[in-house]
Structure 1
Amino acid sequence: MANINVSLQILPRVPDERIYEVVDKVIAYIASTGVKYEVGPMETTMEGELDELLEIVKKAQNICIEEGASRVLSVVKIDYKPEGVTMNEKIGKYRK
């Protein structure tokens, strides 16, 4: 299967002073998987195969719960086309 993009915005229900700490653990996990990813101010976008990226999304939920979140709200966006789609084709012209 061709590479696709999945964007994940994760909002763990933890005390305000812990939100960044928990989100940082999710981002560290994403980095450990070896998929191509970019962190933005509102979400993290990943590039890879759909099944692998959806497993990462599932694990991200569990990380938040393991960190004490009573609930996790996530927004997931998937950009798919059969021949594949890359982050670079969408935003490469904006990079310096």
Structure 2
Amino acid sequence: MPPIPDDADNIGMVGDAVSEPDHRRRTPHESDQEQTTRSFDMTHALMNIQIIPKAETPDDVYPAVESAIALVQDSGLGYEVGALGTTVEGEIDELFDLARRMNETIVAGGCRSVISQIRVYLGREPISMTSLTDRFRD
């Protein structure tokens, strides 16, 4: 924590919240949210999600996962189902909303709990599954 300045105007009373100074460069009138999103292309994100339901019996696991995949298929977003997870491309808020709905579907379907492993790619340039994998395809 930086030393407290000597001038009395910057010293708070005991219990007052003291925030660290924000030294990031920003344009005039730019909010913290705008500063964060300005650096990344939020409209071309990739999310890989692996859903691991805790079901009553092993036979209940596959229908639960299939119900989550059906949400992906109906989402209108680009996707690819893999053996160990599903990759979806789209706008970051759409992807997180989809992940939330997938988890809710698993629980609503009768599973006791669900673990989701989610990886997200955000970059300064637009990205797609095809641009990352085309050179490895026949």
Specify the TM-score bucket, using the shorter chain as the normaliser. over 0.9
Is residue 2–residue 82 contact of structure 1 (8 Å, CA) maintained in 2? no
Q: What residue in structure 1 maps to residue 27 of structure 2?
A: none
Taking the aligned partners of 1:55 and 1:2, their CA distance within structure 2 comes to: 14
Aligned-pair identity in percent equals: 28
Tell me how far 1:20 sits from its aligned partner. Answer: 1.0
Unpaired segments ≥5 residues, structure 2 = 1-41
Q: Does 2:59 match 1:17?
A: yes
Once structures 1 and 2 are overlaid, which stretch shifts more, 41-50 or 80-89?
Answer: 80-89
Cα RMSD of the aligned pairs, angstroms, is 0.9
Is residue 2–residue 83 contact of structure 1 (8 Å, CA) maintained in 2? no
Task: Pick the structure with more strand per residue.
Answer: 1
Aligned partner of 1:5 among 30, 46, 54: 46
1:42-53 → structure 2 map (5 Å cutoff): 42-53=84-95
Taking the aligned partners of 2:112 and 2:63, their CA distance within structure 1 comes to: 15
Taking the aligned partners of 2:108 and 2:59, their CA distance within structure 1 comes to: 17
Larger radius of gyration: 2
- Which stretches of structure 1, 4 residues or more, deviate above 6 A after TM superposition? none
1:1-96 → structure 2 map (5 Å cutoff): 1-14=42-55, 15-96=57-138
Task: Pick the structure with more helix per residue.
Answer: 1
TM-score normalized by structure 1? 0.95
- Secondary structure of 1:76's counterpart equals strand
- Secondary structure of 1:47's counterpart equals strand
- Secondary structure of 2:99's counterpart equals helix
